[in-house]
Amino acid sequence: MKLDLLPGEEKIFKRLDSPKKIQDFLNSIPKNFEKTGETCYSPRLVLRENMAHCVEGAFLAASILWYHGEKPLIFDLRSNSEDFDHVVALFKKNGHWGAISKTNYAVLRYREPIYKNARELALSYFHEYFLDNGDKTLREFSVPIDLSKFGTEWITADRNLWDIYFEIDKYRHTPILSRSMISALRKADKIEIEAGKLREWKK
């Protein structure tokens, strides 16, 4: 895919020629704590500012996959109203799904391409998706969202991608749990909660 990249940007895109390399690169980028207000950086702004949160990381990962001939797919994991959604970039290998994830937590990270479908992949995040009080909060997952539908301008835009962000929320989401399942959920164990407090980047 030919993109309107600056020389420095293209150098980065070119060398990140596998999901593993993209994930390692995302891990090296500091967490965007949005200290001056909420952001939804384009891939260009992520590289310029050298920071990203999950959506921004997913946009960058998807754009790099596209550069190397893969579809620029992302996946929205929707939580209940007490927690935050998580967005990852999707890739496929040997007919199985994997995910590239920018997160500051010890969990909710990269997924190997071993999942047969989107539901299997979403469920792999379920048990580690909880609040500090132990409540498990993951509720829905979206269809894989192809960012090529938005053209290519978003990759090199000098602006926040709020328009795409809000469109993501309109895509069909599938519930993971029934009401009876939700009411019967057990809280995460204390040791899980403590492990969940680990952070990669300090605020």
Q: Supply the DSSP string of 106-166, one letter for each residue.
A: SSS--EEEEESSHHHHHHTTTTT-B-TT--B-EEEEEPPEEGGGG-SGGGS-SSB-HHHHH
Residue 3 pLDDT? 86
β pairing state of 111-115 and 173-175: unpaired
- Domain 7-196, classified CATH 3.10.620, yes or no: yes
d(CA 191, CA 169) in angstroms, rounded, equals: 33
Mean pLDDT, consecutive 10-residue segments, the chain of 203 residues?
A: 90 98 98 97 98 98 98 98 97 98 96 98 97 97 98 97 96 98 98 94 92
d(CA 24, CA 15) in angstroms, rounded, equals: 12
With beta carbons less than 8 A apart as the criterion, state whether 75 and 173 touch.
Answer: no
Residue 130 pLDDT? 97
Residue 66 pLDDT? 98
